[in-house]
């Protein structure tokens, strides 16, 4: 447990500001109240915060897309992956590190590119003997080009942390008809 906290939570530090629609430790009853009261955080809200705050090294945003979709490459399917839309600065804030290829860039974000950065579980299932870069995978039924692969994160409390795909946050508008999201 202490190692998990040291590796995953303590790196947030005292100079990290988190804006969330809901409290992290709310009860179900409190969460339902907050859900009725708190408006969803939008990309425009992130842009306002980013443009208004000064003195922060990095400001980023991520949206978790629900329900958890499947990922598909040819005839292979992985159900219920972690599907997130992120800003380019999340590479410096989040846990993911680039194994090879690259992370989501500012250009990808500005152009709402249909690109993805994937975890090791997707690589092992879809591309066991081939390079995944520039291959097209379907995420929630939509095509995305693989631009990079993350270093393995391993398991936390028995759950794989490598079963994910990240896309540019600006691309979320293209997926919103099939998936709900909130920053």
In degrees, to the nearest 5, what angle opens at C-alpha 45 toward C-alphas 87 and 147? 15
| Residues 81/122, Cβ–Cβ less than 8 Å | yes
Report the candidate in 18, 142, 130, 125 with the shortest Cα–Cα distance to residue 83: 142
Helices (H), the chain: 2-4, 28-37, 43-52, 90-93, 106-110, 120-126, 172-175
Contacts of 103 (CB under 8 A, 6+ apart): 88, 91, 96, 117, 147, 148
Predicted confidence (pLDDT) per residue in 3-37, tens digit: 544 454 445 556 666 677 776 655 778 878 887 88
Computed over every residue of the chain, the mean pLDDT equals: 84
Band of the pLDDT at 123, cuts 50, 70, 90?
very high
C-alpha distance from residue 14 to each of 9, 10, 11, 18, 56 (Å) = 11, 9, 9, 11, 11
Band of the pLDDT at 81, cuts 50, 70, 90?
very high
Residue 55 reports pLDDT greater than 90: no
Across the range 45-62, mean pLDDT stands at: 84
Provide the 10 A C-beta neighbour count for residue 105: 16
Percentage of the chain with pLDDT > 90?
51
The tokens for 45 are: 């809200």
Global pTM value: 0.82
| Residues 9/16, Cβ–Cβ less than 8 Å | no
DSSP helix/strand/coil, 77 = strand
């Amino acid at each position: 447990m202490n190692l998990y906290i040291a590796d995953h939570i303590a790196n947030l530090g005292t100079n990290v500001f988190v804006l969330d629609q809901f409290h992290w430790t709310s009860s179900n009853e409190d969460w339902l109240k907050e859900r009725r009261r708190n408006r969803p955080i939008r990309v425009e809200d992130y842009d306002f915060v980013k443009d208004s705050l000064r003195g922060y090294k990095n400001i980023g945003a991520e949206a978790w897309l629900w329900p958890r979709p499947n990922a598909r490459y040819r005839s292979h399917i992985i159900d219920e992956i972690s599907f997130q839309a992120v800003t380019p600065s999340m590479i410096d804030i989040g846990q993911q590190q680039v194994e090879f290829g690259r992370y989501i860039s500012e250009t990808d974000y500005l152009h709402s590119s249909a690109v993805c950065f994937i975890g090791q579980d997707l690589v092992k299932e879809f591309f066991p003997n081939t390079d995944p870069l520039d291959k097209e995978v379907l995420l929630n039924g939509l095509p995305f080009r693989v631009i990079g692969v993350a270093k393995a994160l391993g398991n936390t409390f028995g759950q794989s942390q490598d079963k994910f795909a990240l896309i540019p946050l600006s691309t979320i508008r293209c997926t919103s008809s099939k998936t709900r999201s909130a920053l």
